[in-house]
Amino acid sequence: MSDSPKTLRNVAIIAHVDHGKTTLVDNLFKQSGTVRDNQRLDERAMDSNDLERERGITILAKCTSVVWNDTRINIVDTPGHADFGGEVERILSMVDGVVLLVDAAEGPMPQTKFVTQKALALGLRPIVVVNKVDKPDGNPDAATDACFDLFVNLDASEDQLDFPILYASGRDGWCVDSLDDPRENLNPLFSKIIEHVPAPKPLVNQAEDKPFSMLATLLDRDNFIGRVLTGRIETGHIKVGDPIHALGITGKVVETGRITKLLSFRGLERVPVEEARAGDIVAIAGLQVATVADTICVPEVTVPLKAQPVDPPTLAMTFSVNDSPLAGREGKHVTSRVIRDRLLREAEGNVAIKITETENKDAFEVAGRGELQLGVLIETMRREGFELAISRPRVLMKLDENCKKLEPYETVQVDVDEAYQGTVVEKMSLRKAELTGMVPSGGGKVRLTFDAPARGLIGYHGEFLTDTRGTGIMARVYDRYDAYKGPITGRQRGVLIATAPGKAVAYALFNLEERGIIMIEPGDEVYEGMIIGENSRDNDLEVNVQKAKQLTNIRAAGKDDAVKLTPPRKLPLEEALSYINDDELVEVTPESIRLRKRFLLAHERKKAARAAEA
């Protein structure tokens, strides 16, 4: 089938985390005939990355395509977490409409606002799909009203405010125009996309006769064909073997070459095609230097296409070579050279990440959108066999024209049971956050909105879950840079530090339990300067975890009791990163996550503390 102006639509699906985007796309595949009835389709088929499947979130924006009634619909599944907003901002330039998915119970959430604002600013007209309307606590009418209020607040145009509304259950595979309609299939959604989303602008403007040009919006690497750039063809058409060059944002030629492979999206697969034309979303291979935001075009084109600006990174960590006594035992990539190459490769395709080399060349400052984004990068590298030492996250400050310090602020939306709202408000106020809104959200819950400095939120999420007994939901999104709010108190307790290398002994850990919370198990390898637990007081305490019970030939009057230990507190990666102080590091290897002091020897720590006070 050849795509013609009337038979092509490009649309993105945007929503908050866990509102059901990827599950809905699964059913769009099945009902459009993209996959056979007897074909095995993994649940959340678009979440192809191992980490995406484990965490149940979408990390990478992905393109796919379905055919319905002779119309090809290119669909982009986007991440729902604010930390991966860099992915969302780029792909919106490839589409002509958006499907905004909102949970019938939760309504629009902060990430919904973040992405919708970007879409409305580009003039895209939304289709609102209220998902999970069959949930017991669902309130579709309230969710619809909240969407309208959100659009008004985001200065939507009259056309954008006149949005169609559909009600759906993505999991059960049905969608209806009215809640009273029979709930059969997703045909109403297909019809609404074709009716409401315009044909691609390049086709409407008859841009086929102009020279080929395309803005690269996604980048990945294939083991067989090399670097692959994905984008929408803005003008002209292209064939395999045609000469092309890449223009940077300034118009400078980045590289020249030929198209060695041209791929179009058909269902879950990228299928080789011989030619493609304006309006379609394609992936091309043949260039080795060109990257995201470059214009790929034929040599006669000299003016680059306008690229969508991406919000700057707000958080940074230092990635350094692991220099602990246990370094090199578990990982295979341990040198600064391979770490540098891997980070630069990541920065190539992820425009929201910036890499800066430090003066001593064995450490790298990695700046990104948030703890989760950088945590995913660290976890990915860890699984690839890297060993790293990671510093505490810190926010990136700016100076205004009067040389006053500015820091990033975030809008935080919290849903908690009424019994816990006092604790949350108190803890947030200690972190310099201001309460800007409080509304009941039904079911004995209340929705709190805060305006908070980003550095005050580092490490708070784990404490928040503890305070709300695991029932609270927190959503954060970057808002702006504003005036510095002064010092914020960090961790309230000190740590327990091992004094000698060796293996931890159960008897020693049992006697240390009254001193604080233990984070290791008997038999774990430790070294001098390694953090083995949290002190119950605000100072650091050096302890001996190898101390064994004295053995004598005199038997005690009572029988020897077996040592019974409280299960240790094992910190996952993101919690460990936010737990440490500035003088501590997280040692990450393929098999272990350890906490340690930056200076392992006690006299070096004292020397550094005196230097800091001076």
Annotated binding site: 18-23, 131-134
* Burial classification of residue 459, based on how many CB atoms lie within 10 Å of its CB (0-12 exposed, 13-18 middle, 19 or more buried): buried
With CA atoms as reference, report the closest residue to 374 among 578, 571, 593. 578
Pull the structure tokens for residue 530.
Answer: 């390694």
Strand partners of residue 313: none
For residue 370, give Cα distances in angstroms to 5, 85, 158, 188, 266.
41, 10, 35, 38, 33
**Amino acid identity at 404:** K
C-alpha angle 489-368-82 in degrees, rounded to nearest 5: 90
> 75 in helix, strand or coil?
strand
Cα 608 from Cα 598, distance rounded (Å): 10
> 374 in helix, strand or coil?
helix
The DSSP call for residue 333 is B
Angle of helix 110-121 versus helix 140-153 axis, rounded to 10? 50
- What are the binding residues for GTP? 18-23, 131-134
502: left (phi over 0), alpha (psi -120 to 50) or beta: left
Cα 442 from Cα 135, distance rounded (Å): 14
543: left (phi over 0), alpha (psi -120 to 50) or beta: beta
Across the chain, which distance is largest between two alpha carbons, in Å? Answer: 98
C-alpha angle 517-529-509 in degrees, rounded to nearest 5: 35
With CA atoms as reference, report the closest residue to 8 among 75, 72, 95, 66. 72
- Residue 399 has φ and ψ, to the nearest 5°, of -115, 135
Cα 313 from Cα 299, distance rounded (Å): 34
Residues 6+ apart with CB under 8 A from 242: 212, 258, 259, 298
* Burial classification of residue 357, based on how many CB atoms lie within 10 Å of its CB (0-12 exposed, 13-18 middle, 19 or more buried): middle
Residues 124 and 42: beta-carbon distance below 8 Å: no
Cα 541 from Cα 377, distance rounded (Å): 33
Pull the structure tokens for residue 556.
Answer: 């005690």
Pull the structure tokens for residue 94.
Answer: 């490839």
Please give the helix or strand (H or E) that residue 409 lies within, else none: strand 405-417
* Residue in the block written with tokens 């470059």: 294
* DSSP string of 391-406, one letter each residue: EPPEEPPEE-TT--EE
